[in-house]
Amino acid sequence: MSHVEIISPERAAELVKDGAVLIDIRETPEHASENIPGARHHALSQIDRRHPARDGDTVLIFHCKSGMRTKMNAKRLAECAGDCDVYLLGGGIEAWKRAGLPTSAGAGGNDRPQGGLLDRLASLFR
């Protein structure tokens, strides 16, 4: 297992802009109540049964609510990520929100903000 780096929300947003995949490891009810648009949901309880990495993924950024679950499971997350580079979002979705980055809330997490995630992230770096 290679070193797993904890990164800031701003750095995570840059990596997502460049093609990294955010992986939300929170359980379904948490993800449904609020999520980061475009993040792939893969509950920690399912990690050992099916892997979160998909063909074409090269960089995975795992996140939870506060960053604690990802830190406590860093080795396990890195092992299930295949050949992908692995990062942890420091402070989780809470830090993402404090940084002013977009989240989506509502029934099933289907309420999406106007504009796509990449458009919103791109506007932060103009």
**Taking 70 as the threshold, does the pLDDT of residue 1 lie above it?**
no
Pairwise CA distance, residues 7 & 89, whole Å:
5
> What DSSP character marks residue 53?
-
Task: Give Cα 102 distance to the centre of its chain.
Answer: 12
Considering the chain, what is the average pLDDT of its residues? 87
pLDDT in tens, 58-102: 999 999 999 999 999 999 999 999 899 999 999 999 999 999 999
Pairwise CA distance, residues 80 & 53, whole Å:
8
Query: Of residues 16, 22, 64, 80, which has the active-site annotation?
Result: 64
The answer to whether 64 is a known catalytic residue is: yes
Tokens 């509502």 belong to 106
* pTM score, whole prediction: 0.82
Pairwise CA distance, residues 102 & 74, whole Å:
25
Dump strand ranges (E) for 3-74. Answer: 5-7, 21-24, 34-35, 40-41, 59-63
- Give the phi and the psi of residue 83 in degrees, each rounded to 5: -90, 5
Q: Report the pLDDT averaged over residues 107-118.
A: 46
What was the pLDDT predicted at 15?
98
Q: Which domains, ranges and CATH numbers included, belong to the chain? A: 5-124 (3.40.250.10)
